[in-house]
Structure 1
C-alpha cells in the first residue's frame, strides 16, 4: 500500500493539513483496491492554528514514505525548522515523491529540492520565494507545477487540485473524479490555469460560458470547432476566446482537448472499447490522432494506460522508491 506521510511542525496551516488528510486517508465510495496509508509525522506536540496535534511518528519516518506532503506553514518570514528541512531532504534522497501545498514550497526550497526547477506557491508569497531562493524558477500564475518527483501548489483550493492530481496519477481519472464528487469540488483543473483573474467574474447564472461548457461536455464525440462553440454561445470567435481565457486561463481548443483526453482516460479505465472506438467517442476521429495527443498529454500510449489501470495496479513508477510517477 502506498504510504503518504504528512510532514508537520509548529505553525503548520490547518486547512491544507486537514484537506490532504481527508483526500488520502479515505477511499471514495465504490473504489476497489488498496488506497493509501497515511502517516502523520512530526515533533510532539505540534500546533496547527488553534489545534494541538500528537503525530504518530517522528520526522525520521519520512524517508520510508512513498509520497511526502508538506502543508503550508504560517510564518514564511523566518527560515523553516531545520529538522523538517533535513527530513524532507532525506526523504527525497530515499526516493520519495515530494509535494508542497501553498507555502510548504519554502520548505522544499530550503532543502534545495527546487533548485533549477519551476515551482509555485500562494500568489501573495511568490515574490518572497523568488527573492529568497534565486535558483528556483518561480511561476506566480499557475495552480500547481508537476516536476515528476517534486510538485508544488499555490494556496488553499489549488492545494486541493494538486492532491486530486496525485490521486489521478496513482489511481486514474475515475478515482480522482469520485474523490472530487465526495468533496463536492470540480474534478479537474489544469495546473497551468491562472491562480486568479484580475477582472471579477459574473455570477454563475450570468457567466456566458456556464451553459456552453455543459453543452460541450455532452458532445465530446462530435468534431467541434471554435466556430461551433462561438455560434452556440452567440458571440464571435474572438470574443469567445477572450471569455475563455478569463474564465479558464486557456483557449477554447486547449480546453476542449483536455476534456477529450480526460474522457478517453475514463473510457480506457472503465470499458473494453478498443482504441478506435475510444477515439470516436471522444471526437478524436482516428486511433492515430488519439495516440498522438494522449501520449503527449498523459505521457504513455492509450494501450499502456489501459493495461496499468484495468489491471488494478499502480501507475508505472508511482509506488517505487527512486522512480517518480508518469506525468499527466
Structure 2
C-alpha cells in the first residue's frame, strides 16, 4: 500500500480530510506514501466551516491507487454516479477500499458492503442499516476490517482505521512511529466501543491509570482481574465497571491486546525464538501465542515476522 487516493465530495468534512492527509504524508524512514486528493470535477471544493479547498485531480486518480478512501461529507444520501462507479471499479481491480463516517454510505451505494459487516458514525448507523438492509451494520465498533473493504466510525475513529491499515500493511513499528508523531495512541482495537462514558485517566491522576501502567510492565506473567483490582484498591466489581468506563473494553480483552501488541514488537525487532516471545508476553507456549495471534491478527506470528521483521544485519529499529 503506497499510493493513496482520497475522494472529496462537495461539503467534505475538513477534519476528515486533514486527518488522512496527515497520516499518509511521506516521512523520513517511513513508507513513501503518494497521497492525492480527487473529486468529480477538479477545482474548488467547499468544505466546512465555510472553507474552500482546491482539488487538482479528478476521479481518474482512483483507477491506479492501492488504497481509495471515501471521505465524509455533509450529506450521506446523494453520491455522484461517477464516484459510485469509480469506487466499484477500484474494488473490482483489487484495490483496498475504505470509508469512514458517512463515507461508508458511498461504499454501500456502490454495493461494496453487501453481505459484509460495516460501521459508521453512531448517529447515522440506523440510517445506514435502514437504507442498506444487506449490510451488517455494527454501530458500536470503531472500525471494521473485511479484508479488501474497511469502514470506520465518525470523527477521530477515521484515524484509528487508517493506523490499523498501516499496521496491517506495513507493521506495528511503522504505525507506532506515525502515531507517536501525531501524539495519539498507536492502536485501538476495532472492537472497542465508539465512545466511553469518561476519558482514560491521566497517569498519576487516578489509581486505575497507575495500575494500567504497571500491568504493561508485567505482561510476562499471569495477571488476574482480582490482582489488578487489589492494586487499584477497588473491589472486583467496581474495578471492572471503572475499567470499562475508562477503556471501553473488559480487563481480559485489554490484557490480550497489550500482550499481542508487545508480541508484534518482539517479532518485528528481534530474532528471539517463538517460545521466548511467547514467554515474554505471558503465554505458556508458542502454540498458545500462535492461537491468539492468528485469531486476532489474521496471520500466524511466523508469517507476521516474515512480513515485518527486520532483515538480517539490519540495525534494530
Deviation of the 1:237 alpha carbon: 2.3
What do residues 97-136 of structure 1 show as CA deviations (whole Å, max 9, x unaligned)? 1110211011111111111111111111111111222221
Question: How many residues are paired up?
Answer: 307
Q: Quick one: distance in 2 between partners of 1:19 and 1:9?
A: 16
Q: Is the 8 A contact 1:275 1:287 kept in 2?
A: yes
SS in 2 for 1:112: coil
SS in 2 for 1:209: helix
Q: Quick one: distance in 1 between partners of 2:257 and 2:200?
A: 24
Partner residue of 2:249? 250
Compute the TM-score of the two structures, normalised by the length of structure 2.
0.91
Deviation of the 1:203 alpha carbon: 5.9
Q: Tell me, which stretches of 5 or more residues in structure 2 are unaligned?
A: 312-317
Q: Quick one: distance in 1 between partners of 2:270 and 2:69?
A: 33
Structural mapping, 1:1-80, within 5 Å? 2-27=2-27, 30-31=29-30, 34-42=31-39, 43-45=41-43, 46-49=45-48, 50-76=50-76, 78-80=77-79
Moved over 3 A (4+): 199-208
Compute the TM-score of the two structures, normalised by the length of structure 1.
0.88
Structure 1 residues 258 and 202, CA gap change in structure 2 (3 angstroms) = closer
SS in 1 for 2:97: strand
Q: Is the 8 A contact 1:64 1:94 kept in 2?
A: no
Partner residue of 1:149? 148
What do residues 156-186 of structure 1 show as CA deviations (whole Å, max 9, x unaligned)? 1111111110110111111111111101111
Q: Quick one: distance in 2 between partners of 1:306 and 1:242?
A: 36
Structural mapping, 1:291-302, within 5 Å? 291-302=290-301
Q: Is the 8 A contact 1:44 1:53 kept in 2?
A: no
Higher relative contact order (CA 8 A, sep 6+): 1
Partner residue of 2:85? 86
Partner residue of 1:135? 134
Deviation of the 1:207 alpha carbon: 4.5
Partner residue of 2:117? 118
Q: Quick one: distance in 2 between partners of 1:139 and 1:150?
A: 15
Q: Quick one: distance in 2 between partners of 1:141 and 1:160?
A: 16
Q: Quick one: distance in 2 between partners of 1:239 and 1:53?
A: 49
Q: Quick one: distance in 1 between partners of 2:167 and 2:148?
A: 15
Structure 1 residues 302 and 203, CA gap change in structure 2 (3 angstroms) = closer
